[in-house]
Amino acid sequence: MKIHPITTTTPNKCKEGRVYISLWSALNTTDPTDNGGDWHSLQLLPENLQYAGEECEVNTLPWLGQKGLYTYQNYESLPDCRSLDFWENFPGPYVIATHHRAAVDLLYEDFVLTRDTKGLTVDVYAWIDNDERIQAIMDDFQLIINDIKNTPLAVNLKDWHNWQKMTWENAA
């Protein structure tokens, strides 16, 4: 998996290689698995896209591999790209996370990397209105939690359980 050379200035700096557009940037695109988009489409994204993957702060590739990653060969094939001017400057292929994968990446950022937000920035029910899909996001993140439990990156389980409880309470 390889995309254009990364010129992002976000705190999520990565090196060229196995990286993909994720986090808030991916949540603001059409998700090819459900055809839903968040608030903006690709033509409104800023030049400093957020990436995840190898050599990035957020890297869930060891646990999820290619799951939830879609590759678009050129800007004409992007699912909601109406303004080609922006994307012409970034040659493809483009690898973009689904909303599911972007949500797992955000959970990783919140619970593993920043540790002080306790998942409050990840409101999956605002993006996904299907209980089974929300549970699948939680299950994927639980795989990561289980694997890092005896490392310095271990997740505070109390925070994780409180976040899960809050998510399901908000779903009602």
Is residue 111 in a domain?
yes
pLDDT tens, residue by residue, 128-146: 777 888 899 999 999 999 9
C-beta of residue 37 within 8 angstroms of C-beta of residue 80: yes
Is residue 70 in a domain?
yes
Is residue 163 in a domain?
yes
Domain encompassing residue 156? 19-171
Residue where the block lists tokens 């797992």 = 104
Domains identified in the chain, total number = 1
Is residue 14 in a domain?
no
Is residue 3 in a domain?
no
**Whole-structure pTM value:** 0.82
pLDDT tens, residue by residue, 17-63: 688 888 888 877 777 776 555 555 555 555 567 889 988 999 999 99
Which among 88, 78, 87, 83 is positioned nearest to 31, based on CA atoms?
A: 78
